[in-house]
């Protein structure tokens, strides 16, 4: 009985080895005469891959919307003022110079310059100061070649604080001009 078992295992081993040898990959040397070797590339199996979405041209409105977003990002920097002042600082002049370049690049867009103040002072006083701050920025941009017709000014006085806190840290953030693309 032991011999039968050993003979069966040997027969099974020989069959597995024979089967494995029969399934081995053939090389070009073992190909029949006249046969052509063909390689399959990724290109040949594109039918298996999901199709890439077709690209399309952007419409004029989509291009304008993208330009509007880019221009607003570039115009986003605010300028800040000292207490009870509408005088432009050297830093403000640098920011405004950058804004003028953006406005020249995106000549289709007009802007609104918003003047803001901190909470100190009366509403009337702060509305007038906010207007003077917005006009100071407008005049500087005008000197850099931006037409007045492309700029609108508005004063919010102390009505729209950037920081509602109390103290100089909050107030210094609220004494500002903001620049937005006009709707």
Residue 98 and residue 77 in contact, taking contact as beta carbons nearer than 8 Å: yes
Give the helix ranges, DSSP H, for 109-154: 123-143
Tokens of 125: 């006083």
Would you place residue 63 in the very low, low, confident or very high pLDDT band (cuts 50, 70, 90)? confident
Segment 115-173, tens digit of pLDDT: 999 999 999 999 999 999 999 999 999 999 999 999 999 999 999 999 999 999 999 99
Averaged pLDDT, 62-83: 83
Averaged pLDDT, 67-71: 79
Between 74 and 70, name the one with better pLDDT.
Answer: 70
Residue 172 and residue 81 in contact, taking contact as beta carbons nearer than 8 Å: no
Averaged pLDDT, 75-95: 93
Segment 23-60, tens digit of pLDDT: 555 544 555 565 555 555 555 555 555 555 566 787 87
Count Cβ atoms within 10 A of the Cβ of residue 177 and give its class: 0-12 exposed, 13-18 middle, 19 or more buried. buried
* Three-class secondary structure of residue 164 per DSSP: coil
From residue 38, alpha-carbon distances to 5, 11, 48 in Å are 46, 37, 19
Would you place residue 84 in the very low, low, confident or very high pLDDT band (cuts 50, 70, 90)? very high
Long-range contacts of 147-150 (CB under 8 A, 24+ apart): 149/110, 150/103, 150/109, 150/110, 150/111
Return the axis-axis angle of helices 123-143 and 90-105, rounded to nearest 10°: 60
Q: Which domains does the chain have, with CATH numbers?
A: 80-181 (3.30.1330.60)
Q: What is the pLDDT of residue 33?
A: 60
Segment 94-124, tens digit of pLDDT: 999 999 999 999 888 899 999 999 999 999 9
Q: Which helix (H) or strand (E) segment is 99 a member of?
A: helix 90-105
Q: What is the DSSP letter of 148?
A: G
Q: What is the pLDDT of residue 82?
A: 95
Rounded CA-CA distance 144/46 in Å is 56
Is residue 121 left, alpha or beta, with left meaning phi > 0 and alpha meaning psi from -120 to 50? Answer: left
Tell me if the pTM is above 0.75: no
């Amino acid at each position: 009985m032991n011999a039968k078992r050993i003979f069966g295992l040997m027969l099974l081993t020989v069959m597995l080895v024979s089967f494995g040898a029969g399934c081995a990959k053939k090389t070009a040397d073992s190909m029949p005469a006249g046969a052509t070797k063909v390689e399959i590339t990724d290109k040949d199996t594109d039918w298996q891959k999901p199709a890439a979405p077709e690209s399309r041209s952007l419409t004029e409105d989509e291009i304008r919307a993208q330009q509007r977003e880019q221009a607003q990002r570039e115009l986003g920097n605010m300028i800040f003022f000292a207490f009870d002042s509408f005088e432009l600082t050297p830093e403000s002049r640098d920011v405004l110079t950058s804004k003028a370049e953006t406005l020249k690049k995106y000549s289709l867009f007009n802007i609104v310059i918003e003047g803001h103040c901190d909470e100190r002072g009366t509403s009337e006083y702060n509305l007038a100061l906010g207007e003077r701050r917005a006009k100071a920025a407008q005049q500087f941009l005008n000197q850099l070649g931006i037409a007045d017709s492309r700029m609108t000014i508005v004063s919010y006085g102390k009505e729209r604080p950037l920081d509602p806190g109390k103290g100089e840290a909050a107030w210094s953030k609220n004494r500002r001009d903001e620049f937005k693309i006009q709707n």
